[in-house]
Structure 1
Amino acid sequence: MARAGEPLPPRAIRFDPRRCAEGPAEALAAPGRAEPRLLDRGRDEGGQVSGAEPARGEWEPGLERRALPRAVIRELDRRAIEEWGIPSFALMESAGRACAERVLSLLRRSPRRGLVHVLVGPGNNGGDGLVIARTLLQALGSGVRVSYLGADPTAVRVSDDFRLNWKLWTGLGPPITQVHPTSPAPGTWLSTLADDALVVDALFGHGLSRPLGEPWKSAIDALNAARVPVLAVDVPSGLDADTGEVLGAAVRATQTVTFIAPKLGFFRGAGPEHIGRLHVAEIGVPQAWIEAEIARARA
């Protein structure tokens, strides 16, 4: 039991769909703003959370022909912000809420009990993870845990969007477990991963192009060994988004929610062994722009 003045630890949950029957997107909708939505029609009957080894990648027929390189994804992001006028924070919010929607759907069918554990890295993928954690906590009321792997975000340069989402979580949720690069390999919290209901991988996104060091490599190795259901945010951490190469270690996800368009690396190299069931989320980038880039890539 926590002593007076100490924060209460996160409480394990039994998922009750009545507590979020409308889903996080509806509960947190902002007036006049397009909501994130999953573009594919994944066969939900096959997406239950069981903890089994993730299957080889599954996706809608033809989705591989819509894949784009990360440079094009980055440019579409930039144009959405600078030309379309969408605040970068709004894109992050939409991305996070689309992932949270998928997590809630998985939990609804899950026989597992335990915490939803969000692993957060130091970049914008980590910012997406903080949005996911906040959205889930608001929908469920409890049972969400955040672990941050990286240099202290209060002492190093991080994006304004990440910093704001960090502040929002610290004002709302239980304390964040922090593991710094200069620390020994991640400690006892790694041994508890197998007890989680589901882990959200928000360590690194499509921008990663170098081999992973510590503490990320140890965390990914432990996550893969835990045989816990994993939802990867945008790209399974450690997978090169263009080539499908494993950059030292890569998360083996049971589900991946990617943004804007599939990444080339999902269908190359080791990609199909790491993405699990693939979903594409619309986050506010004009669809006409995306279709134009897909047509250009296939020309």
Structure 2
Amino acid sequence: MRSLPRPLFRPEQVARLDRYAIDVLGVPGMELMDRAGGFAYAALRATWPEMRSLVVLCGGGNNGGDGYVIAELARRDGFPVSVVAMVESSRLKGDAASAAQRYLGGGGHLRRLDETLPTAGAVVVDALLGTGLERPVARDWAKLIDAVTASGLPVLSVDIPSGLNGETGGVLGTAIRADLTTTFIGLKRGLFTGAGPSCTGDLLYSDLALPPTVVEQEVPAAWRTDYAAVRHRLRRRRRDGHKGLYGHVLVVGGDHGTGGAVIMAAGGALRAGAGLVSVVTRSAHVSPLLGACPEAMVLGTEDVPDALDRLLPRASVVALGPGLGTAAWGRTLLRACIDSGKPLVVDADALNLLADTPEALPQAILTPHPGEAGRLLGMSTEAVQNDRWHALGLLCQRYQATAILKGAGTLIGGGDRPPRVCTGGNPGMATGGTGDVLTGICAGLVAQGLTLAEAAELAVCLHAEAGDQAAEHGERGMVATDLLEPLRALVNPI
């Protein structure tokens, strides 16, 4: 993703910023529309220099007005342009009406909705539905969006892909899947999570030449984060440092058949810089774990029945849940770890057990994927994905915990600050075990003295950046342990 501002806003906040520029700063609305359309058109020309024609899909609001500005610029440059107008030009109002009349008055023409989209050399501009959309796309609007998807033509969306909810990142019925989106004045937080990244494609931003004081009128609803934003927290170690200064992570899990989960969590904790890592697991996993991770200290519960009692008092933080299972063995370990009062990083089956008997865990980082989040909140996975920001807030509130809601556009919430969304990561990380590595990284950072909120954000960004570096060899075929090698360099920034 190209360089973008970090503050994120709700759509209604961006609408207020737009009105501030017009009403307080005195910038004419038509001037802002021309700037937005001009920026989008320049991006279009730079992205698709081979373009031979343009199809512009225009709705009835200012988003459609931006489309008419783009259409007129392309017409003046000599490109064949056709506009599909979903609202008759006579029904348009304000600046959108002015932009449409300028296009039509200059010789532009409109195209029938039922005509087949061209297939060679054309680029589609999506200026149908802006950020005010609140209900599912239906009827002719939905048919047109689906036709664009079926055409396979490259698409530029203006401000936001039509059908995407700019507040939640959910899809309202159906949505454009753009190759490029140009957005203006303030970044909408729905662009960065859920369906947002896949619908948006590459994202370009323009402040429309407005002064920085404009965005300062609103308190950001969230912040965009990545490795570059948080790497400063990884400070150089003192020359006389020793392992006792860097904390002791205790990994608890690995029921029968799931020993690999604790191996990967232990590896994540070690590569994140923890001074010591211990593991309590099934005895059958002790030898394989020591073979894969000899730096860890491992006790098996069948051989050492009081293994947890021995190690828990020494731990700085507990990574609880990888491979834990939901049977009596896992329930007993979960209860003991919670009752210890130690800081916790709670993942996998520990989350499923917690969903059965919810309780406040202010000392914990919860790390659910959408399915686990749904169980924790008593809602469907679909409901979580339709409004990930809301689900994150509910997790933090219900469990009084710091929370990481994993997925495309991983969200981090907790503490007295707005939530974060990580814009790193890639589909190659959608494979078993990557969550276990993240759990280990989180625990390793907490062990080194970071607050829960700081550790959660830094861990997510390290994990995403390690995944992106691993994906340089290709996303398909990546495995979770591929993240461990780049992680060492990432926790030691120059």
Give the structure-2-normalised TM-score: 0.43
Aligned to 1:226: 151
Residues 77, 285 of structure 1: 8 Å contact kept: no
Partner of 2:215: 290
Gaps of 5+ in 2: 224-416, 418-494
- Among 66, 69, 78, the alignment partner of 2:7 is 66
Please report the TM-score for the alignment, with normalisation by the length of structure 1: 0.70
Paired residues of 1:244 and 1:271 also in contact (CA < 8 A): yes
Q: 1:59 to 1:210 in 2, by over 3 A?
A: farther
**Kept after mapping to 1: 8 A contact 2:20/2:214:** no
Matched residue, 1:167: 101
Q: Quick one: which of 127, 134, 149 aligns to 2:86?
A: 149
Match of 1:87 in 2: 28
Q: How many Å separate the matches in 1 of 2:196 and 2:221?
A: 23
What is residue 232 of structure 2 aligned with on the other side? Answer: none
Deviations 1:17-52 (A, max 9, x none): xxxxxxxxxxxxxxxxxxxxxxxxxxxxxxxxxxxx
Distance 1:142 1:193, change over 3 A: closer
Check 1:280–1:132 CA distance in 2 against 1; reply closer, same or farther (3 A cut): same
Partner residue in 1 for 2:181: 256
**Partner deviation per Cα, 1:186-227 (whole Å, 9 max, x = no partner):** 42x2x3243352111000111111111221100000101111
Residue 96 of structure 1 aligns with an amino acid whose one-letter code is G
Which residue identity does 1:73 align to in structure 2? V
Higher helix share: 2
Which of 210, 215, 233 is the matching residue for 2:140?
215
Partners of 1:92 and 1:131 within 8 A in 2:
yes
Q: Secondary structure at the match of 2:85?
A: strand
Q: Secondary structure at the match of 1:195?
A: coil
What is the distance in 2 between the residues matched to 1:68 and 1:279? 16
Segments ≥4 residues shifted beyond 4 Å: 294-299
1:26 is aligned to none
Q: 2:64 aligns with which of 126, 133, 136?
A: 126
The aligned residue for residue 194 of structure 2 is 269
Distance 1:283 1:196 in 2: 29
**Alignment-derived partner of residue 303 in structure 2:** none
Residue correspondences, number: 224
For the residue of structure 1 that corresponds to 2:213, the secondary structure is helix
In 2, are the aligned partners of 1:134 and 1:173 still within 8 Å (CA)? no
For 1:237, the equivalent position in structure 2 comes to: 162
Aligned-partner SS, 2:89: coil
Structure 1 residue ranges without an equivalent (≥5): 1-57, 179-185
1:281 corresponds to which of 206, 228, 231: 206
Alpha-carbon distance in 2 for matches of 1:217, 1:201: 13
CA-to-partner distance for each residue in 1:235-258, whole Å, 9 max, x for gaps? 000000010111111000000000
Q: Tell whether the 8 Å contact from 2:54 to 2:124 is kept in structure 1 after alignment.
A: yes
Aligned-residue identity in percent? 37
Q: Which residue of 2 aligns with 1:15?
A: none
Q: Which amino acid aligns with 1:118?
A: V
1:105 equivalenced with 2:46 (yes/no): yes
8 Å Cα contact 2:17/2:217 also seen in 1: no
Bigger radius of gyration: 2
Q: Residues 197, 81 of structure 1: CA spacing in aligned structure 2 closer, same or farther, 3 A cutoff?
A: same
CA drift of 1:147 comes to: 1.3
Give the Cα separation in 2 of the matches to 1:249 and 1:159. Answer: 26
Aligned match of 1:42 = none
